[in-house]
Amino acid sequence: MRYADIVLPVPLPKLFTYEVPNEYHGTLAAGQRVVVSFGKKKLLSGIIFSLHNNKPEAYETKPIISILDDKPIVTLSQLKVWEWMADYYQCTLGEVYKAALPSGLKLESETRIFYNDEFEAETEMPEKTQQILDFLAAKKYSTISEINQFSGLKSCHHIIKQLIELDAVVVNEQLKGSWRPKTEVFLSLHNNVRNENSLRDAFDSLSRAPKQLEVLMLFLQSTGGVSEAMTGKEVLKKELASKAVNSSTAINELIKKEMLVQVKRNVDRLLTSKIENVQKVKTLSPEQDSALQETLKGFDENLPVLLHGVTSSGKTEIYIHLIDQAIKKGQQALYLLPEIALTTQITNRLKAHFGEKLGIYHSKFSDDQRVEVYNNLLNNKSYRVILGVRSSVFLPFSNLGLIIIDEEHENSFKQFDPAPRYHARDVALVLGQGFKSSVLLGTATPSIESYYNVQNNKYRLVELTTRFEGMMMPEIIVVNTREAQRKKMMQSHFSPQLLEHISEALSNKQQVILFQNRRGFAPFMECMSCGWIPKCKHCDVSLTYHKHIHQLICHYCGYSSNVHATCQACESPTLNLKGFGTQKIEEEIGQIFPDASIARMDYDTTRSRKGYENIISGFEQGEYNILVGTQMVTKGLDFDRVSLVGILNADQMLNHPDFRAFEKSFQMMAQVSGRAGRKHKRGTVIIQTSDPEHPVIAKVRSNNYAAFYQEQIEEREQFNYPPFYRIIHLTIKHKNQNVTNQAANYLAGLLRSVFGSRILGPQVPPVNRIQDHHLQRIMIKYERKASPSQVKKLIRDCINQTLANERWKYVQIVNDVDPL
């Protein structure tokens, strides 16, 4: 094997062939990381994809510079999934590689500027240049950003260039990896004092050093007693130090006197306290048990199972049984959840059963922690079950027996940006095929696609129709806001019925959830004289008013602007806030119920690491009476005291211009209703709408998923939408609007010559300018029975032909397969 094809983190659609130096012959394998030089000076770390003897004809190969691992860190089954993803989602292996590994495992190159020791200045230098040179001389080497920071310059490039010409510095690419093992310092009793006599002598010698004496006593206590200490038991240094004020000097003295010794050890960042009594799995109710048996039957037929169970029916208990069985068979399990549903609630529930066997993979984890989860699985250490978000489909499993995709209908399983724009549910199914794993999709509101697979016998359906212990489904009241408005009975955004129920719930010490699927205070401002609306400078969207910071903010790019006092078009001082978001609801409900304590949960309040969990645990513990929130409040939360859920504006969801709007509205309304009345008594849901007869609302009210599905599937068939047709979006982007339009028209023309009427557009997307780039979109709709890889190859050819045109060289074409 003299050549290696290597995956590099660059957006070029190919593998790169390098030569294997003689000394590495026979020792390399696919999945190992190597360092190679790329371009003129750049060093990159990449993954060996395959090894072979075929000398490339077109170019001279460069040798691999070094090998970073003794054994592969990416398994063959992972590489297979990567390959499938690159092909299916039309991205490069390099892009998959970037998404798949935590950054700590992807060494990145950085430019280092080295001081030349032999340099002697011949002429005097400008002051700033001399300062930078002295800085480099002292440090030996540094980076551009460090030098900028040191010098206070915006850019030091011109100075570095001069220094290079003078031979004062040498520039080199170096690799840096961010992951380092974490170390802690441990203390134990020194060998010299590990017998009673010498220990007593030691105590005597400390009679005039009371602090040291105190610390030594504390140390012995911490080990659990003298005899434990004699065996060499270790104590964490910082823990001992925390037990007495100002103890560090005393500790160091004891070390100097050879009474204590310290050692540094690598520790696990995710080390959790041992759980002594793991909880046994709960006994299932007869209905749950028969659902479990049917699920196992589906697995025996090698079919994925769709578990359609109403909220609180015990789906999670069934998952726990299945995981338990998989572990007992020596297999691994993956439990996938959308980011937002991965709360302490579910983590604690699984931890109680699986203790140290449970690994968690989460975007709120630091990269170092993610590397440790990755390595734990790779080296087959403690983890048997992974509870994780979409990126956990990239982990190095070796014996994956079970995959659970909970809340399978959730859109957040799909990655929007950057590539790979993958759907974790679909990748998980492919992952499952590779391992021949059993796959379970669970939800109270199945996606149309998954239910269609049931109808076509691709999945087996298992149903749970009642809540655990006969808890009742909530009573759903639909309130006609148009009528209430006409009778002038609305109090700001609340109908009299909703206010009455809130006040009743509050006086019964029950909790209330108010759902408004829009954040901010008001979605836009408008001039009452001329209709002018403040828009983002960089995007074609109106700015949302955020009251607490009194700013207008773009929800697409984050641009913010002061609030204008007068209209920028007609100068009249008649700017008004229109519409309403969570902040406004929070403020208004606070004015109506001044004694109620209110929490708000949306993107703005949950950005910090702990924000989300604090709100949830605060609400759980009854610190708040009312929780106002966006769709975040609809996800898999389990609250005991919520008796009322109010949906403030159902029309907003239903009127969204998208063929999935009804599906999403049904799911959101049904999910948020599921939060009402979970444990003790029947809850109430109030839906405010101007269209109470709307067919989707009728189905939510009667909790009739099957009828809802039937209506939807007929519509999808009639209008050639998924699951009957597959969709690909091509988005064309460029800073110049004409260039965008011309390239889009050209590409659409090429595509039409191949696909005919399956091509729609180009059309400006709903938001047609984002971050100063003008957008056009082409939609390709093709029959389900067509071969996806054939179709995609034809599309690729058309894209390449477009980009080959000199005028459109810098046009970006973004490929979104199965867009949501």
CB closer to ligand ADP, 315 vs 769: 315
User: From the list ligand ADP, Zn ion, none, which binds 725 (C-beta under 5 to 8 Å, kind-based)?
Assistant: none
The C-alpha angle with vertex 320 and arms to 316 and 323, in degrees rounded to 5, equals 135
Return residues touching Zn ion (CB under 5 A): 527, 529-530, 532, 536, 538-539, 554, 556-557, 559, 567, 569-570
In degrees and rounded to multiples of 5, residue 546 shows phi and psi of: -110, 115
- Which positions from 671 through 690 interact with ligand ADP, judged by CB under 6 A? none
798 is in an annotated binding site: no
* Complete DSSP assignment for 227-282: HHHHTT--EEHHHHHHTSTT-HHHHHHHHHTTSEEEEEEEE-TT-----SSPPPPP
Q: Give residues 595-654 in contact with ligand ADP (rule: CB under 6 A).
A: 638
By beta-carbon proximity to ligand ADP, the closer residue of 316 and 450 is 316
Total residues interacting with ligand ADP, rule: CB under 6 A: 15
User: Which region, judged by CB under 6 A, interacts with ligand ADP, from 72-80, 309-317, 428-436, 556-564?
Assistant: 309-317
SS3 of 730, please?
strand
Q: Compute the least distance from the CB of residue 338 to ligand ADP, in Å.
A: 14
Burial label for 401, CB within 10 Å (0-12, 13-18, 19+), is buried
Asked whether the bond before 765 is cis by omega within 30 degrees of 0, the reply is: no
Determine, following the binding rule CB under 6 A, whether residue 317 of this chain makes contact with ligand ADP: yes
Residues 437-496 that bind ligand ADP (CB under 6 A): 468
**Which does residue 221 bind out of ligand ADP, Zn ion, none, counting CB within 5 to 8 angstroms by kind?**
none
Q: Which does 314 bind (CB under 5 to 8 A by kind): ligand ADP, Zn ion, none?
A: ligand ADP
Residue 579's SS3 state is coil
Residue 285's binding partner, choosing from ligand ADP, Zn ion, none, with beta-carbon cut-off 5 to 8 A by kind? Answer: ligand ADP
Q: How far is the CB of 646 from ligand ADP (least distance, A)?
A: 21
Question: Partners of 813 in the beta sheet?
Answer: 732
Q: Which of 32, 129, 212, 311 binds ligand ADP (CB under 6 A)?
A: 311
Closest CA to 316 of 342, 270, 350, 273: 350
Tokens at 362, concatenated: 């989460």
**DSSP secondary structure, 627-654, as one string:** EEESGGGGSS---SSEEEEEES-HHHHH
Shortest approach of ligand ADP to residue 275 CB, angstroms?
A: 18
Q: Are 343 and 616 in contact (CB under 8 A)?
A: yes
- 468 binds, options ligand ADP, Zn ion, none, Cβ within 5 to 8 A by partner type: ligand ADP
Residue 156 labelled as part of a binding site: no
For residues 133 and 140, give the distance between their C-alpha atoms in angstroms, rounded to a whole number: 10
In DSSP terms, which residues pair with 184 in a beta bridge? 265
Smallest distance from ligand ADP to CB 312, Å: 4
Question: Between residues 193 and 670, which has the closer beta carbon with respect to ligand ADP?
Answer: 670
Shortest distance (Å) from residue 435 CB to ligand ADP: 25
Q: Which does 536 bind (CB under 5 to 8 A by kind): Zn ion, ligand ADP, none?
A: Zn ion
Q: What DSSP character marks residue 404?
A: E
- In the numeric block, the tokens 């040291």 are attached to 212
Measured from the CB of residue 352, what is the shortest distance to ligand ADP in angstroms? 11
> In this complex, which beta carbon is closest to ligand ADP, that of residue 39 or of residue 470?
470
Minimum Å gap between C-beta 640 and ligand ADP is 9
536 in a labelled binding site: yes
Q: Which two tokens stand for residue 344?
A: 């302490």
Region from 238-246, 307-315, 605-613, 687-695 binding ligand ADP, contact rule CB under 6 A: 307-315
CB-nearer residue toward ligand ADP: 345 or 366:
345
Give the interface segment with ligand ADP, choosing from 166-174, 284-292, 490-498, 596-604 (CB under 6 A).
284-292
The minimum distance between CB 578 and Zn ion, in angstroms, equals 14
Q: Is there binding between residue 284 and ligand ADP (CB under 6 A)? A: yes
C-alpha distances in Å from residue 733, one per residue of 555, 675, 730, 806 = 19, 42, 10, 16
Question: Is 539 assigned a ligand-binding role in the annotation?
Answer: yes
Q: Which of 60, 28, 25, 30 shows the shortest CA–CA distance to 47?
A: 30
Helix (H, G, I), strand (E, B) or coil at 43: strand
Interacting partner of 284 out of Zn ion, ligand ADP, none (Cβ under 5 to 8 A depending on kind): ligand ADP
Residue 571, token pair as written in the block: 């100068």
Of 271, 241, 267, the residue nearest 254 (C-alpha) = 241
Smallest distance, Zn ion to C-beta of residue 540, A = 9
Residue among 94, 102, 298, 309 that touches ligand ADP (CB under 6 A):
309
The answer to whether 530 is a known ligand-binding residue is: yes
Task: Based on the shown chain and the rule CB under 6 A, indicate whether residue 315 belongs to the binding site for ligand ADP.
Answer: yes
- Binding ligand ADP (rule: CB under 6 A), the pick from 313, 369, 376, 443 is 313
**Nearest-approach distance from CB 345 to ligand ADP, in angstroms:** 9
Segment near ligand ADP (CB under 6 A); pick from 60-68, 168-176, 315-323, 611-619: 315-323
Could you tell which of ligand ADP, Zn ion, none binds residue 311, using a CB distance below 5 to 8 A set by kind? ligand ADP
In one letter, which amino acid is 8? L
Task: Tell me whether residue 353 or residue 370 sits nearer to ligand ADP (CB atom).
Answer: 353
Which one of Zn ion, ligand ADP, none is in contact with 15 (Cβ closer than 5 to 8 A by kind)?
none
Residue 355's identity, in one-letter code, is G
Query: Cβ neighbours of residue 162 under 8 Å, at least 6 residues apart?
Result: 129
Tell me which residue of 116, 95, 102, 1 sits closest to 53, measured CA to CA.
1
Q: Contacting ligand ADP (CB under 6 A), which of 285, 529, 614, 690?
A: 285
Residue 578 interface partner, choices Zn ion, ligand ADP, none, CB cut-off 5-8 Å depending on type: none
Give yes or no for residue 347 binding ligand ADP (CB under 6 A). no
> Which residue number, 358 or 536, has a Cβ lying nearer to ligand ADP?
358
Instruction: Pick between residue 353 and residue 699 the one whose CB is nearest to ligand ADP.
Output: 353
Instruction: Report in angstroms how near the CB of residue 520 gets to Zn ion at its nearest.
Output: 14
282 binds ligand ADP (CB under 6 A): yes
CA atoms within 13 A on the CB side of 189: 27
Nearest to 299 by CA among 438, 450, 403: 438
C-alpha torsion 667→669→670→674, nearest 10: 130
The whole-angstrom separation of Cα 559 and Cα 430 is 39
Beta bridge partners of 601: 629
Least spacing, CB of residue 638 vs ligand ADP, in Å: 6
Residues 559-568: contacts with CB within 8 Å, 24+ apart? 561/534, 561/537, 563/525, 564/525, 564/534, 567/527, 567/529, 567/530, 567/532, 568/532, 568/534
Q: How far apart are CA 439 and CA 429, in angstroms?
A: 7
Residue 554 binds what, of Zn ion, ligand ADP, none (CB under 5 to 8 Å, by partner type)?
Answer: Zn ion
| C-alpha distance from residue 774 to each of 83, 630, 652, 745 (Å) | 32, 29, 27, 14
Could you tell me the smallest distance in angstroms from the CB atom of residue 444 to ligand ADP? Answer: 7
According to the binding rule CB under 6 A, does residue 316 interact with ligand ADP?
yes
Could you tell me where the beta strands, DSSP code E, fall in 679-817?
684-689, 725-734, 759-763, 769-770, 773-783, 812-817
Q: Least distance from C-beta 339 to ligand ADP, angstroms?
A: 18
Backbone torsions φ then ψ of 423, nearest 5 degrees: -105, 115
- From the list Zn ion, ligand ADP, none, pick the one residue 186 interacts with, judged by a Cβ distance below 5 to 8 Å according to partner type: none
Residue numbers of the site for ligand ADP (CB under 6 A)? Answer: 282-285, 288, 309, 311-317, 468, 638
Q: Which residues are annotated as a binding site?
A: 527, 530, 536, 539, 554, 557, 567, 570
Q: Which residues are annotated as a binding site for Zn(2+)?
A: 527, 530, 536, 539, 554, 557, 567, 570
